[in-house]
């Protein structure tokens, strides 16, 4: 069985001046099957973002090992990591993080441009993704002309357009009202099944835990598992 | 299922397709960079303004400098040197000490040859001497120049007759304005010229002052005495001439004509040598050096201003876009592509700003020229000021443009590298 994510005895220490802050202490995590909808839950400051950043190859741990899709990512160069992120990991941010000068279409197209996908195929995929998130009519709108929920949909489309195995979403509903947040989670879960991508999202909101198939609790830098 | 490592698969793919997976199409990078430039319109306008001001300064000052070079060159050639001077062989080596031993005696034969050449407008024989001039009470040193009136009048277009009239007959003289003042003579007075003949005896001649000339150079005007060639020949007791000044139809023809003449001198065994105007015009050369120096200093100052204004814009823009940089890096943009993206922004600022600069520069130069140019007061050792026009010199325009673009690329180096080397996590956290 292919291991999607394997985190081995991870420790991450930040230094604030001379104060040592242990964001993660001895975290082990294994995500084996594709297409799961996994939640990392914990109060703010519990290390959720740190953990997601490590899985997303955006940061390096102080100790421990990370294996993503059978690759020891800590040995890879920055260029290879960029390539890995581009082709195998999708990112959904709490603040959407769309590129303001690009339209919805162009924002979704961006990862495919980096990947170097040829014109016609690129267009087909972008339009298909926009269709899936229900924004085909808004494709020529700039982010500032879209509502929060619509922006997050664009962001979901952007994360999934390269058909990644892993999608990381750090508090994807925190900047949305409850109703919109629920729709977004619904959409994420649906797409997760259709694309058989493993979604890992973090939240501190207990109300949305019901959407998850698997929940990890993170408290004071330590992790514990609770199957749904 | 045993799956191969993704990276090795990707590498295989890249090798197979021989293309760079992390590099976006250049057109897309340009389009993105262009949109980013015009995102903060006010800031971009200010940057463009700095570039435009720099370009206008370069184009206008460069045009002014070239006009001055042109004016000085033509006045030097036309009033003093001619385009080419012909002497007896050895004159430039030995002749300055013993001028009278190096005279051209086969002058008529030489003139015959010169008449055959198409680019030569005038060939003016001259015989000069250093001597004394006396107006009765005062005696001064002088530089007597004997020439043929019809030819001299065409040659000295930059020299103005300010009083009296030109030489018409034998034993008449036109003297420099400063010399006239210091001698205390008037038009119609007689002056005595005293010098040594070719065979070493002293000789004197009385000539009538018929006119006063002004060349713009005070030093020249304080010694010059213009005389008919025949008068000077009589005074020096010779039938030869010292040199022949050639005026060509265009200054640009000087090197070609000089080469042709040298060949003719060789072929016909005329025992002559020549000098081109640029070898003789030491004042012109030093002015060119001085102006070029000033212009270079100005170029450096402008380059520094443009450099910092673009670097500042880019740095501010990168600071504002920190989270966006984190985002594009997170979704897989390579460091190299990030650098390229910001580089392109700097490059485009240079390209567009430079274009606007050229247009504005040409407009400003044209307006200055239409409104009569810039009045320049008399330069050192000159007596007359002049109105300078701004020449639009393609070389200067192209040079300024290329430098602006280069400076803009260089100034985006540091901001681009800084952007690419931001920590992705910290950039994403930036608010």
The pLDDT tens digits of the residues spanning B171-198 come to 999 999 999 999 999 999 999 999 999 8
**How buried is residue B279: exposed, middle or buried, by Cβ count under 10 Å (0-12/13-18/19+)?**
middle
In chain A, which among 151-210 make CB contacts under 8 A with chain B?
Answer: 158-159
- Chain-wide mean pLDDT for chain A? 90
Cross-strand partners of B87: B273
Please name the member of B19, B35, B332 whose beta carbon is closest to the beta carbon of A85.
B332
Q: How far apart are CA A87 and CA B402, in angstroms?
A: 40
List the structure tokens of A56.
């997303």
**Cα A190 to Cα B311: distance, rounded to the nearest angstrom:** 47
Distances (CA, A) of B176 to A86, B143, B183, B224: 85, 10, 11, 5
pLDDT tens for residues A24-76?
A: 998 999 888 777 889 999 888 888 999 999 999 999 999 999 999 988 999 99
Q: How far is A174 from chain B (nearest CA, A)?
A: 15
- Pick among A54, A67, A86 to test the B interface (most B CBs inside 10 A): A86
What's the confidence (pLDDT) of residue B19? 45
Contact yes or no for A52/B425 (Cβ under 8 A): no
pLDDT at position B17 is 47
pLDDT category at B370 given cuts 50, 70, 90 is very high
Q: Do A79 and B332 touch (CB under 8 A)?
A: no
Cα-Cα end-to-end distance for chain A: 22
| Strand duo B272-276 + B84-88: pairing | antiparallel
B327 touches chain A (CB under 8 A): yes
The pair of three-digit structure tokens given for residue B183, joined into one six-digit string:
């001698």
- Residue B18 scores a pLDDT above 50: no
| pLDDT at position B13 over 70 | no
Prediction ipTM score: 0.93
Is A82 in contact with B28 (Cβ distance < 8 A)? no
Length of chain B: 431
**Three-state SS sequence of A45-72:** CCCHHHHHHHHCCCCCCCEEEEEECCEE
- Predicted confidence at residue B132, as pLDDT, reads 94
Q: Do A83 and B334 touch (CB under 8 A)?
A: yes
State how beta strands A214-219 and A222-227 pair: antiparallel
Inter-chain touch B19–A110, beta carbons under 8 Å: no
Q: Are B14 and A80 spatial neighbours (Cβ–Cβ below 8 Å)?
A: no
Percent of chain B with pLDDT over 70: 92
List A225's β-bridge partners, or say none. A216
- A116 and B24 in contact by Cβ < 8 A? yes
Separation in Å, CA A19 to CA A13, A14, A15, A140: 10, 8, 6, 48
Distance, in Å, from the CA atom of B363 to the CA atom of B82, rounded to the nearest integer, reads 35
Mutate to test the interface with B, among A114, A152, A155, A174 (most CBs of B within 10 A): A114
pLDDT band at residue B158 using 50, 70 and 90 as cut-offs? low
Which residues of chain B neighbour A2 with C-beta distances below 8 Å?
A: 1, 3
- Of A131-135, B377-381, B413-417, the range with the lowest mean pLDDT is B377-381
Position B14 scores a pLDDT of 44
Checking if the pLDDT of B6 tops 80, the result is no
- pLDDT at A165 exceeding the cut of 70: yes
Which among B32, B324, B330 has the least Cβ separation from residue A91?
B330
Residue to test with chain A: of B16, B31, B331, B421, most A Cβ within 10 A: B331
Domain A33-58+74-227: which CATH number of 3.30.470.20, 3.40.50.300, 1.10.150.80, 3.20.20.140: 3.40.50.300
Question: Which pLDDT band holds residue B2 (cuts at 50, 70, 90)?
Answer: very low
Q: Higher confidence at residue B99 or residue B192?
A: B192
Q: Do B331 and A114 touch (CB under 8 A)?
A: yes
B window 329-388, beta carbon within 8 A of A: 329-337
Domains of chain B by residue range: 24-73+285-429, 90-270
**A76 has a chain B CB within 8 A of its CB:** yes
Q: Mean per-residue pLDDT for B106-133?
A: 87
User: Angle, nearest 10°, between helix axes A148-160 and A178-195?
Assistant: 20
- Sort out which chain A residues have CB atoms less than 8 A from B323's CB and list them: 95, 97
Low-confidence winner among A202-206, B190-194, B381-385 (lowest mean pLDDT): B381-385
B19 CB burial (10 A radius; 0-12, 13-18, 19+): exposed
Are the Cβ atoms of A113 and B5 closer than 8 angstroms? no
């Amino acid at each position: 069985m292919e291991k999607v994510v394997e985190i081995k005895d991870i420790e991450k220490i930040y230094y604030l001046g001379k104060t040592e802050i242990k964001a993660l202490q001895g975290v082990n995590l294994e995500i084996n099957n594709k297409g799961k909808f996994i939640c990392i839950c914990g109060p703010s400051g519990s290390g959720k973002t740190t953990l997601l950043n490590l899985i997303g190859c955006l940061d390096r741990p102080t100790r421990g090992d990370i294996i993503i899709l059978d690759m020891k990512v800590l040995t890879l160069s920055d260029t290879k990591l960029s390539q890995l992120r581009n082709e195998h990991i999708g990112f959904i941010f709490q603040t959407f993080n769309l590129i303001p000068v690009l339209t919805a279409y162009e924002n979704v197209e961006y990862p495919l441009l980096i990947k170097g996908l040829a014109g016609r195929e690129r267009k087909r995929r972008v339009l298909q993704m926009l269709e899936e998130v229900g924004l085909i009519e808004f494709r020529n709108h700039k982010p500032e002309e879209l509502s929060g929920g619509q922006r997050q949909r664009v962001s979901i489309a952007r994360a999934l357009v390269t058909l990644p195995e892993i999608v990381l979403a750090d508090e994807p509903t925190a900047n949305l009202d409850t109703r919109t947040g629920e729709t977004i989670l619904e959409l994420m879960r649906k797409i997760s099944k259709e694309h058989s991508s493993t979604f890992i999202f973090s939240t501190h909101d207990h109300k949305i835990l019901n959407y998850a198939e698997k929940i990890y609790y993170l408290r004071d830098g330590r992790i514990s598992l609770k199957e749904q | 299922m045993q799956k191969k490592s993704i990276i090795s698969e990707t590498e295989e793919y890249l090798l197979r397709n021989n293309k760079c997976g992390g590099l976006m199409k250049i057109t897309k990078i340009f389009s993105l960079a262009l949109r980013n430039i015009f995102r903060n319109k006010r800031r971009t306008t200010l940057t463009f303004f700095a570039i435009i001001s720099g370009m206008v300064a370069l184009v206008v000052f460069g045009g002014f400098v070239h006009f001055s070079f042109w004016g000085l060159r033509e006045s030097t050639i036309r009033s003093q040197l001619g385009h080419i001077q012909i002497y007896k062989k050895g004159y430039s080596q030995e002749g300055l000490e013993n001028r009278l031993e190096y005279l051209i005696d086969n002058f008529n034969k030489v003139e015959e040859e010169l008449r055959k050449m198409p680019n030569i407008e005038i060939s003016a024989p001259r015989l000069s001497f250093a001597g004394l001039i006396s107006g009765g009470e005062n005696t001064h040193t002088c530089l007597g120049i004997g020439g043929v009136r019809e030819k001299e009048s065409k040659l000295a277009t930059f020299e103005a007759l300010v009083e009296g009239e030109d030489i018409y007959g034998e034993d008449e003289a036109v003297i420099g304005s400063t010399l006239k003042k210091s001698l205390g003579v008037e038009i119609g007075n007689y002056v005595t010229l005293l010098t040594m003949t070719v065979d070493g005896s002293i000789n004197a001649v009385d000539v009538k002052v018929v006119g006063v000339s002004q060349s713009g150079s005070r030093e020249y005007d304080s010694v010059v005495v213009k005389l008919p060639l025949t008068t000077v020949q009589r005074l020096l007791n010779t039938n030869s001439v010292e040199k022949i000044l050639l005026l060509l139809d265009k200054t640009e023809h000087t090197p070609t004509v000089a080469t042709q003449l040298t060949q003719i001198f060789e072929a016909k065994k005329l025992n002559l040598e020549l000098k081109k105007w640029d070898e003789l015009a030491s004042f012109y050369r030093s002015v060119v050096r001085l102006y070029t120096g000033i212009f270079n200093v100005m170029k450096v100052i402008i380059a520094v201003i443009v450099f910092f204004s673009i670097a500042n814009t880019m740095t501010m823009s990168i600071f504002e876009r920190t989270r966006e940089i984190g985002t594009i890096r997170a979704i897989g943009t390579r460091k190299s592509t990030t650098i390229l993206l910001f580089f392109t922004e700097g490059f485009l600022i240079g390209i567009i700003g430079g274009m606007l600069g050229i247009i504005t520069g040409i407009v400003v130069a044209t307006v200055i020229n239409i409104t009569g140019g810039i009045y320049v007061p008399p330069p050192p050792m000159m007596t007359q000021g002049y109105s300078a026009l701004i020449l639009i010199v393609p070389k200067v325009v192209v040079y300024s443009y290329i430098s602006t673009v280069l400076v803009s690329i260089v100034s985006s180096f540091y901001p681009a590298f800084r952007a690419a080397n931001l920590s992705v996590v910290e950039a994403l956290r930036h608010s």
